[in-house]
Chain A
C-alpha cells in the first residue's frame, strides 16, 4: 500500500487524498441519513436526539463545503486557490468590521482596506513576492490607514478606531494570506506537493480546535462532587472565565497533544521528518488556539458569543470568522517558522 502510494506522481497522491476524504464524507453522510430515519421510543429523548443530529448535520454540511472548496482550489490551480482564500479573507473582514463600530470618518479607510489593501496583498502572494508580502501590511499599510483617517478630519477615539481597523486587517487579511502562500513554498524534492502542506496546517489546527471543543462540551465545569477522576481533571475551572468559559489548561494540553500527534503521524505527506512534523504541528496549534482565545476576548468586548450570533445574526453574519480565526493566527507563524527553519 505504502509502496503503491509512493510510486504515484505528486498529483496522483493529492488526488488520492481527496478521494479518501470525499469517500469518508460520503460514508458519514449516508450513515447520518439512515440514522435520521430511526425513531426513538421515548419522545423526550427523541427530541434531544434529533437536535443533536441537526447539529451534526450542520457540521457535516460545513465540512462538505470546505472540502469542496479545497478541491476546487487545488483542481483549478494556485491562482484560483489564492482567489478563494482572498474571498474568505474578504468575508471574514466584512464580519469583523460589521461588529466593530465605525464612524463616518472611517469610510475612506475602510474602502482602502477592502478594495486596495486586500487585493494587493493577495496579488503579492499570488506572484510569490515573499519579501514584499510579509512587510506590505505591517509597514506600508499601517502608515497609510491612519493617514487616511486623519485626513477624514474626525479625531474622536482616533487611536481606538484605527487600532480596530488595523487589527482586523492583520488578522483577516495578513493572517489568511499566509495560507495560500504555503502553496508557493518550494522545498527541494517536494515540487507539486505544496497542497499537502496546506492540508496539513488546516487539518492539524482544526483537529486541535475540535478536540478542545468536544472536551469543553463533554466535561463542562460544574462544582458537583463525586465525579470520576478523569472528568474532574479535565473539567477544571475555566482559567479566564471573563474571556472564555471553556478554556482551561488541562483541556488545552490534551488538545495540543492529540493534534501534534496527528500532525506527527501525517509527517509522510509533508517535507518534514517525524519530529519536525510534531514540532511544526505543535507550533501551529499553540498559535491557532491562542489566537482563538484572543478573538474570544474581542467578541466578549463586543458583547456577542459568536461572530454570527444573536439567533441567526442581526447583522446577517454567519460566523465564518469563528471557523477561520484559529487558522488566521496559525498560518503566519507556521509559514515563517517553516521558512526560517528550512531556509526556503
Chain B
C-alpha cells in the first residue's frame, strides 16, 4: 500500500520533471515476455524507463539495479525492491558484466571477473571467439563467485520481463560503450523472449554525476523494433548489432 502510494508520487514527480514520455517506434507496448536493453547514462535511467512504461507493463517488468548503488541505504533498498520491484545484481562492473572492459587495464589484479560464459549451451563457441581481444577469451573460473546473471535468469524463468543496461557502467557522453555479453547469453538462453532496444534521451542532463537535485528537462524513452539472435550468429557481431540498434533510436 505504502509502496503503491510512493510509486504514484514518484511517478508524478518524474513526469513533472522529465515528462517521462515513451515513444513506441518498432513495437507496440505489449504484455509479452521481453528483455528491454537500453543505453546507460545515469542511475536515474532505471527510474526513467520504469516511469515510461505503461502501468500494465510496469507490474510485470523488473529493472536491474546495481547492488552497490541501489542497496547502500535502507531507503534506497526499500524503494528498489518495493516500488521498482527491481532485481539486484552484483557488479564487478555492472549487471550483465561478463568480462572486464578492455579499457580498464588498471583494474586491481586481485579482482575476479565473474563468469559470464554460460555453464549451459554452446560449448562449441569458445574456439570461434579466438579473434576477440585476449581478455574475453580467458576461460573464466566458473566456480568462483556467484554467477551475476543468476538473478536475471531466475526472473526470466519466472516469466517476468526485465530491463538491462548492457554497457555495464554509465557512459560519459554521446555514444554508448561496447555492450557486455550478458545480453547475448540471456538471448541464447531464452530464445523465446523478445529483445527490445531502447534509447533513453537526455537523462544525463537531468542529474549529472555528483549532483543531488534534479533539474526539469524533458526526457523520452524510444523503443525500437525487436531483435533476435540469428541462427549461428556469434557473440560479438550480435552485440554490435544490438548496440547499433540502440544508437539508431537516438535520431528516430
Contact = CB atoms under 8 A, between A and B. Distances in A.
A104 B208 CA distance: 7
Contact of B215 (A107, A315, A316): A107
Nearest to A115: B213
Contact of B21 (A93, A115, A316): A316
B110 to A, nearest CB: 34
A314 B215 contact: no
A97 B18 CA distance: 11
B10 to A, nearest CB: 18
Contacts of A138: none
A312 B217 contact: no
A98 B208 contact: no
Interface size class of A (residues with CB under 8 A): 20 to 34
Contact of A313 (B21, B213, B215, B251): B21
Nearest to A311: B252
A302 B21 CA distance: 21
Interface stretch (B58-66, B158-166, B183-191, B218-226): B218-226
A161 to B, nearest CB: 13
Given A98-B202, A107-B211, A316 B20 contact: yes
A44 interface: no
With a 10 A CB-CB cut-off, give which of B21, B215, B217 has the most chain A CB atoms.
Answer: B215
Contacts of B20: 316
Contacts of A90: 216
Interface in A286-344: 312-318
Contact of B218 (A98, A102, A114, A312): A98
B216 A313 contact: no
Contacts of A315: 19, 201-202, 218-220
A315 B18 CA distance: 9
Nearest to A99: B218
Interface string B211-252: 101011111101000000000000000000000000000011
Nearest to B23: A312
Interface string B135-171: 0000000000000000000000000000000000000
Interface residues of B, number: 21
A313 B220 CA distance: 8
A111 B216 CA distance: 8
A94 B20 CA distance: 13
Contacts of B23: 312, 314, 316
With a 10 A CB-CB cut-off, give which of B17, B217, B218, B222 has the most chain A CB atoms.
Answer: B218
Given A313-B21, A314-B201, A315-B201, A94 B208 contact: no
A94 B217 contact: yes
Contact of A314 (B18, B217, B252): B252
B205 interface: yes
Interface in A51-110: 90, 93-95, 97-98, 102, 104, 107, 110
Interface in A110-141: 110-111, 114-115
Contact of B216 (A97, A104, A318): A97
A98 B217 CA distance: 5
A90 to B, nearest CB: 7
Contacts of A110: 215, 217
B216 A314 contact: no
A135 to B, nearest CB: 25
Nearest to B17: A94
A97 B21 contact: no
Nearest to B217: A98
B215 A114 contact: yes
Given A98-B202, A104-B208, A316 B213 contact: no
Contacts of B202: 98, 315
A114 B21 CA distance: 21
Nearest to A113: B215
A314 B205 contact: no
Contact of B222 (A93, A107, A115, A314): A314
B205 A102 contact: yes
A314 B213 contact: no
B18 A316 contact: yes
B220 A316 contact: yes
Question: Which 5 A-B residue pairings sit nearest by Cβ, starting from the closest?
Answer: A316-B21, A316-B19, A316-B220, A98-B218, A110-B215
25 contacts: A90-B216, A94-B218, A97-B216, A98-B217, A104-B208, A107-B215, A110-B215, A110-B217, A111-B213, A111-B215, A114-B215, A115-B213, A312-B23, A313-B21, A314-B222, A315-B19, A315-B201, A315-B202, A315-B219, A315-B220, A316-B20, A316-B21, A316-B23, A316-B219, A318-B19
Interface of A: 90, 93-95, 97-98, 102, 104, 107, 110-111, 114-115, 312-318
Given A97-B216, A313-B218, A316-B23, 11 more contacts: A94-B217, A95-B218, A97-B217, A102-B205, A107-B208, A107-B211, A110-B217, A114-B215, A312-B23, A315-B19, A315-B202
